[in-house]
């Protein structure tokens, strides 16, 4: 939306969830022309020169949108305030704010963690140059800087000063940038180099393929229940959460891939394993559920950064599953689940869409589970219940 000198781009098969609708609205506020046409979006961008309609932008509850839009707003001229809602109001934005400050951008949030609202003075340009970024909590700051770097006045070098989590999301960012002619040099996820002045090339069409993060819940459900399920349009791309297939295979599931379709004929007798989720944080809630039904012990580790998501995704799924009788414990960096005899009960989604969906899958296996706050699923997967019902499930 920030690139494309001439013409417009068509995005085929877009997702209309709460977060993506917030994104569409925010980019319209910055001057992009976005029109919905049957199964696609038609977009004309502003090529690095936003023309905001007003002086405030609400990113709703989307942390991804917040991190991606802040450096773009800095390309506009004027004083701006970025607002948010619900769980996003309590989350730290220190990493992205400090990175932008290192580029001499005047930006500040509330308190030492720079929580929303955030105020920003746009100068119509960004300096770029060398910046040191923490990758311990999220990879999104790095992705946001990579996207805006071609518009910087100086060549950009991004140095990761600690470890980088969720690395596949950076790979997805680099892959999309390469599709539009932007080259990124990467050195072992520790250093990224982007030359200034690179020109975004008009891409006539982008196709949005299936999302493994959402498909993971369907694949898990099919592995736990009598089923014969085929999920289409799951291409073998750079999405990190495609790892759900390998994880379930190691746990004992038989999952077949034919071209871009995945077939599951459950149920399976699962066994507990050790799972490193440093690069796949969105899988943790559903893996905790799978661990309850797997023989032995399942250890999900390298997940300390999950304490800073929509909820604390270490303690929250554990706490809710305990209400159903799960034998589960946590550390600052792991969840340990033993095979459990779960029983009907009353739990809460705790405002977290992935925990909500994970609890639904647990409920399908147990039966008679009441989940409060289930409407938050629309944040990322508004068709979740329609797709689950297609498996023959009744609610």
Catalytic site residues? 282
12: enclosing H helix or E strand: strand 9-12
Listed residue (52, 26, 22, 27) closest to 378, CA to CA: 22
160 Cβ neighbours under 8 A, 6+ residues apart: 132, 133, 134, 135, 142, 189, 190, 191
* Whole-number CA gyration radius for the chain: 21
Give the CA angle between residues 114, 107, 80 to the nearest 5°.
105
217: enclosing H helix or E strand: helix 212-224
| Strand-strand pairing, 33-37 and 40-44 | antiparallel
| Strand-strand pairing, 297-301 and 369-372 | unpaired
Q: Which two tokens stand for residue 291?
A: 């661990």
CB-based burial label for 368 (10 Å; 0-12, 13-18, 19+) = exposed
Listed residue (109, 154, 148) closest to 128, CA to CA: 154
Contact in structure between 269 and 302 (CB atoms under 8 Å): no
Q: Which two tokens stand for residue 333?
A: 């960096």
Positions of E strands within 223-338: 229-231, 255-258, 261-264, 274-276, 297-301, 327-330, 334-338
Contact in structure between 11 and 44 (CB atoms under 8 Å): no
Taking the C-alpha atoms of residue 84 and residue 208, their distance in angstroms, rounded to an integer, is 26
Q: Which two tokens stand for residue 109?
A: 């949030």
């Amino acid at each position: 939306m920030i690139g494309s000198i001439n013409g417009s781009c068509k995005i085929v098969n877009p997702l209309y969830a709460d977060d993506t609708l917030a994104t569409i609205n925010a980019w319209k506020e910055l001057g992009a022309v976005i029109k919905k046409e049957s199964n696609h979006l038609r977009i004309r961008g502003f090529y690095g020169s936003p023309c905001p309609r007003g002086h405030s932008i609400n990113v709703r509850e989307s942390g991804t949108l917040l991190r991606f839009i802040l450096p773009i707003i800095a390309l506009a001229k004027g004083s701006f305030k970025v607002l948010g809602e619900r769980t996003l109001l309590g989350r730290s934005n220190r990493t992205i704010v400090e990175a932008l400050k290192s580029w001499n951008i005047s930006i500040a949030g509330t308190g030492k963690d720079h929580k929303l609202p955030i105020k920003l003075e746009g100068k119509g340009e960004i300096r770029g140059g060398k910046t040191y970024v923490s990758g311990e909590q999220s990879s999104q700051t790095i992705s946001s800087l990579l996207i805006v770097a071609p518009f910087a006045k100086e060549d950009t070098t991004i140095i990761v000063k600690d470890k980088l989590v969720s690395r596949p999301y950076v790979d997805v960012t680099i892959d999309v940038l390469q599709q539009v002619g932007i080259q990124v040099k990467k050195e072992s996820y520790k250093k990224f180099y982007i030359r200034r002045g690179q020109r975004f090339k008009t891409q006539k069409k982008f196709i949005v393929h299936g999302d493994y993060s959402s498909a993971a819940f369907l694949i898990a459900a099919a592995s736990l229940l009598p089923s014969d399920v085929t999920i289409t349009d799951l291409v073998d791309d750079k999405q990190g959460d495609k790892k759900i297939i390998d994880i379930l295979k190691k746990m004992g599931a038989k999952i077949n891939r034919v071209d871009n379709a995945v077939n599951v004929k459950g149920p399976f007798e699962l066994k507990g394993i050790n799972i490193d989720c440093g690069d796949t944080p969105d899988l943790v809630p559903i893996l905790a559920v799978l661990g309850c039904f797997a023989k032995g012990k399942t250890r999900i580790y390298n997940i300390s950064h999950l304490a800073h998501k929509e909820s604390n995704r270490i303690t929250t799924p554990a706490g809710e599953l305990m209400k159903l009788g799960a034998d589960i414990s946590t550390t600052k960096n792991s969840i340990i689940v033993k095979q459990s005899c779960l029983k009907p009960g009353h739990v809460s989604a705790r405002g977290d869409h992935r925990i909500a969906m994970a609890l639904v899958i647990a409920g399908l296996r147990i039966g008679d589970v009441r989940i409060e706050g289930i409407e938050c699923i629309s944040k990322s997967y508004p068709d979740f219940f329609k797709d689950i019902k297609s498996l023959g499930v009744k609610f």
